[in-house]
Amino acid sequence: MPDWRDLITVEPDKLGGKPCVRGMRISVADVLEYLASGMTIDEILSDFPDLTREDVLACLAYAAARERGTVQLHV
């Protein structure tokens, strides 16, 4: 699996600078909320065909790193 740093991006002109998946207008927070609501990865991928399983896992890895206090994103 790729490192989450290769898939999670922050761009000031996209979604107010929130962390997004591969520069798309799909935020990490949105993906995490879908998972928290009970959606499966397969359901998310079905609803958002531009996402990959690795993207969803990168969102989880990002959240874990953020909780540990080790997130460093380059804008």
Domain residue limits, the chain: 4-67
How far apart, in whole angstroms, are the C-alpha atoms of residue 49 and residue 64?
Answer: 24
Tell me the pTM.
0.89
How far apart, in whole angstroms, are the C-alpha atoms of residue 47 and residue 36?
Answer: 16
Mean pLDDT across the chain: 92
Sequential DSSP letters for 15-39: GGG--EETTSS-BHHHHHHHHHTT-
For residue 12, with 0-12 CB atoms within 10 Å meaning exposed, 13-18 middle and 19 or more buried, which class applies? exposed
Residue 71 has pLDDT above 80, yes or no: no
> According to the CATH classification, is domain 4-67 in 1.10.10.10?
yes
Cβ atoms of 3 and 23 closer than 8 Å: no
Residue 51 has pLDDT above 70, yes or no: yes
Residue 73: predicted pLDDT: 61
